[in-house]
Amino acid sequence: MNQPLLNHPTIQKILDHYKTIWALNHLSHLASWDVETYMPEAGATGRGVALGKAQSLIQKLVLEPEFVNQAKSLQGIEELNDWEQGVVRVVNRMIDQYQKLPASFVEKWALTTNQAQVAWRNAKQTNNFTLFRPHLEKIVDLSIQRADYYGYTDSSYDALLDEFEEGSRTAQVELYFKTIRPFLTSLLQRITKSTQFISTHPLEQTPYLRNSLEKFNQEMLSFLGQDPRSLRLDISAHPFTQNISSQDVRITTWYHSHDFAASILATIHEFGHALYELHGSPELEYTPICGGASLGIHESQSRFWENFVGRSQAFIHRFYPQMQALGVDIHKSSEAEIYRYFNTVKPGLKRVEADEVTYHFHIMIRYELEKALITKQLKVADLPEAWNAKYKEYLGVEPKTFSEGVLQDIHWSMGAIGYFPTYSTGTVLSATWKKMLEKELGTIDSLIEANQIETIQTWLKDHIHQFGSTYTFNQLVEKETGTKFDAQPWMEYLESKYRLLYP
Ligand code: MG
């Protein structure tokens, strides 16, 4: 019989105690999913109170002296296997974060970000930055305090980055963007000068039959190997994935009246997140390391399915008849046209609608601005102007309203400063997985053509999913690739794909 993954007696005690924390998280996740999908609006207040209470109960359980002592006693013990070390790392990080933030600060933070989200929604709806400004000012101040509580060596922004991607530092992120920026700038220049360049693809404006698209998404999920007993699809204002347990993951998608690719790509993106959660080793269930490792690794999975499967020629070919059936005006489009529609590159104002090439500029803009706010190089009052200037500089476009400019994302209103870079690094990492997988198994296109989706799934499971959060982003990348995180495979991928699309 195989040796169990988590065997050490003190680890066993930690896991016993953690199971209650897991249960509270489990119920909180279910309650949060309900907020975004089916909860009647008036339920918001009660749900907020319940989730807040559950959170403080979790904090109490994490800080129980015996649990803290057990976790500390295992730090630096070398005979633990990787999985056990993962538990020790994750639990101690949790303890450390809860210990460093005073309860009064946590409460203030929750209150401020709750109010800020309401203000942000109103401000966005009425195109009024002034409504959101005082809230964002408070959030920036509190984020600086948060960084001070956590502590850092070089920059307060480091402490915030680390919260979303363990081990991430400003200097590395800076270097990373410096590497990809000139590459993207010249690629985009070539694309916009190509005779194939168009500023809008007609299919973006073409209406579709909603019922048919809902059916399409279900059929696509079956093709991708969805097990409906453990993965369900619903509808929400913004697509997201919520893991409840390793056998119960919920994803959502959206439907607009036109632009059917937006719904298909959102569905397959969230499927990629879900698969990661569903594929953890069963022995990790109820432990602190079950579920995806980090935001960056997670995004490397969602982007993998979205870009390499959903935007591929083989996928469009496989689903061409079903796509034609999505509407009378879509019916006329050739397969080649639909492939081009799924891969149209154009500088625009909105991050969530961006293509594979321009997407990263949206992230760079947010990264530079939020870092400037945190390091006090920029005042919130000057943010809209700075935002517009960056859009002009990076993408040659300028928002006419606050809503399509500085107010477009929810992140800052939630206090998520330091989050954005993971969208870019995760996307870039996905190309490293692609390169490795294709070297072993042949191209993803050929696997789709041969109906070998399961082969792709198994590869991802073996190399990434099974570990849950045993490893950090950097640890997993180094373990699997033998080198440090590198943007080269992604640059090669974009270069060769878009040279063909935009000669
Ligand atoms: Mg995502």
pLDDT grade for 120, boundaries at 50, 70 and 90 = very high
Backbone angles phi, psi at 249, to 5 degrees: -125, 135
Separation of 312 CA from ligand 1 center, angstroms? 19
Residue range 53-78: average pLDDT? 95
Percent of the chain with pLDDT over 70: 100
Strand partners, 405: none
Separation of 194 CA from ligand 1 center, angstroms? 30
- What pLDDT, on the 0 to 100 scale, is given for residue 2? 63
Separation of 273 CA from ligand 1 center, angstroms? 7
- What pLDDT, on the 0 to 100 scale, is given for residue 45? 85
Tokens of 79: 């005979």
Considering only 94-108, 166-180, 221-235, 332-346, which range has the smallest mean pLDDT? 94-108
Identify which has the larger pLDDT, 45 or 327: 327
Per-residue model confidence as pLDDT tens digits over 389-418: 999 999 999 999 999 999 999 999 999 999
pLDDT of 44 > 90? The answer is: no
Residue range 4-19: average pLDDT? 95
Separation of 181 CA from ligand 1 center, angstroms? 22
- What pLDDT, on the 0 to 100 scale, is given for residue 1? 45
- What pLDDT, on the 0 to 100 scale, is given for residue 256? 93
Separation of 183 CA from ligand 1 center, angstroms? 24
Residue range 416-422: average pLDDT? 98
pLDDT grade for 107, boundaries at 50, 70 and 90 = confident
The pTM score is 0.96
Q: Let me know: does 272 contact 317? Beta carbons within 8 Å.
A: no
Separation of 299 CA from ligand 1 center, angstroms? 5
Active site positions, annotated: 270
Separation of 266 CA from ligand 1 center, angstroms? 9
Residue range 175-199: average pLDDT? 97
CA pair distance 25, 202, nearest whole angstrom: 45
Please compute, for residue 164, the number of CA atoms within 13 A of its CA located in the half-sphere on the CB side.
23
pLDDT of 137 > 50? The answer is: yes
- What pLDDT, on the 0 to 100 scale, is given for residue 41? 84
All residues at 6 or more sequence positions from 474 whose CB lies less than 8 Å from its CB, including other chains: 167, 484, 485
Name which of 154, 164, 211 is nearest 422 in CA terms: 164
Residue range 321-325: average pLDDT? 97
Per-residue model confidence as pLDDT tens digits over 448-487: 999 999 999 999 999 999 999 999 999 999 999 999 999 9
Separation of 251 CA from ligand 1 center, angstroms? 11
The DSSP element (H or E) to which 232 belongs, if any, is strand 231-235
Name which of 180, 212, 136, 26 is nearest 416 in CA terms: 136
Mean pLDDT, all residues of the chain: 96
Residue range 127-137: average pLDDT? 98
How do 248-253 and 231-235 pair as beta strands?
A: parallel
Per-residue model confidence as pLDDT tens digits over 371-397: 999 999 999 999 999 999 999 999 999
Separation of 321 CA from ligand 1 center, angstroms? 28
- What pLDDT, on the 0 to 100 scale, is given for residue 168? 96
Separation of 93 CA from ligand 1 center, angstroms? 23
Q: What is the chain's length?
A: 503
What secondary structure does DSSP assign to 414-458, as a single string? GT--S-THHHHHHHHHHHHHHHHHHHHH--HHHHHHTT-HHHHHH
CA distances from 284 to 22, 86, 212, 278 (A): 12, 11, 39, 11
Separation of 359 CA from ligand 1 center, angstroms? 13
